[in-house]
Structure 1
Amino acid sequence: MDFVSIRVITGDVARLVAFYEMATGVQTTWFTEDFAELRTPIATLAVAGTRTVPLLAPGSSRAADNHSVILEFLVDDVDAAYKRLAGSVPASDFVNEPTTMPWGNRSLLFRDPDGNLVNFFTPVTAAAKEKFAR
């Protein structure tokens, strides 16, 4: 089995896609006005509109209501990413500045326009670098 994607349900697909393209620098592939994918070499972030929910399971998902999942992106330099994002992400949406975590990653937590938590991180210890070696 392979884990391949996370799908975020939103009330404004274009706004969320534009945010993730800006934040990651990755171009999104649009399939319909209600569904787009941001593909990376490891996994895909799918962004789907609320009109897609009834196609899967009516009432099973609500936009902008996530309080338990963090979308995580491995970046080359989290401090540089923070400086780049500081001009585009409202200060109130940053949960923390780059901080080195006990497990060896330097992490930056912020919220996307729907309030979902996003973690950009860079491994900084030898063990963390080995774990995420490409």
Structure 2
Amino acid sequence: MDFVSIRIITGDIARLVDFYERATGVRADWSTEDFAELRTAGATLAIGSTRTVALFAPGSARPADNSTVIIEFLVADVDGVYRNLADFVADFVTEPTTMPWGNRSLLLRDPDGNLVNFFTPVTPAAIEKFAR
């Protein structure tokens, strides 16, 4: 089995796609005006409008209603990501901080309030863990 994507349902797809394109530097592939994907080497971040929910599971997902999931991106320079987003992101939860498990992490909220973690491994063990 392969984990291939996570999908965010949003009430404002253009705003959320714009945010993730700016935050990640990855251009979205739009399938329709209601569905876009940002593909990385490891997985895909899919973003769907609320209209897509009715197509596969009516009433099963509500936009901007997540408080349990953190979307994570492995980046080469988390401090650079922070500098790039400093004038763009309204809700930083924590500025870049080195965590006890060896990653330097930046935690923020996207425009829908979803938690997003950008991290860079900085200790030898963390670097080895994420070596590709």
Residue identity matched to 2:79: D
Q: Report how far residue 56 of structure 1 moved.
A: 1.4
Instruction: List per-residue Cα deviations over 1:74-106 (Å, max 9, x = no partner).
Output: 01011111011101112xx00001011111100
Q: Report how far residue 59 of structure 1 moved.
A: 0.8
**What residue ranges of structure 2 are gaps of 5+ in the alignment?**
none
Instruction: List per-residue Cα deviations over 1:45-78 (Å, max 9, x = no partner).
Output: 0000000111111111000000000000001011
Give yes or no for the alignment of 1:8 onto 2:41: no
Q: Report how far residue 41 of structure 1 moved.
A: 0.6
Q: Report how far residue 123 of structure 1 moved.
A: 0.2
Give yes or no for the alignment of 1:22 onto 2:19: no
Task: Find the counterpart in structure 1 of residue 55 from structure 2.
Answer: 55
Task: Find the counterpart in structure 2 of residue 124 from structure 1.
Answer: 122
SS at match of 2:26: coil
With normalisation by structure 1, the TM-score equals 0.97
Residue identity matched to 2:126: A
Aligned residues: 132
Cα separation, 2, equivalents of 1:130 and 1:34: 39
Which moves more between the two structures, 79-88 or 38-47?
79-88
With normalisation by structure 2, the TM-score equals 0.98
Q: State the percentage of identical aligned residues.
A: 76
Cα separation, 1, equivalents of 2:34 and 2:126: 37
Instruction: List per-residue Cα deviations over 1:13-69 (Å, max 9, x = no partner).
Output: 111000000001100000000000000011000000000111111111000000000
* Higher fraction of strand: 2
Cα separation, 2, equivalents of 1:51 and 1:13: 10
Cα separation, 2, equivalents of 1:32 and 1:68: 28
Task: Find the counterpart in structure 1 of residue 111 from structure 2.
Answer: 113
Cα separation, 2, equivalents of 1:87 and 1:22: 12
Q: How does 1:11-90 map to 2 (within 5 A)?
A: 11-90=11-90
SS at match of 1:59: coil
CA-based RMSD: 0.6
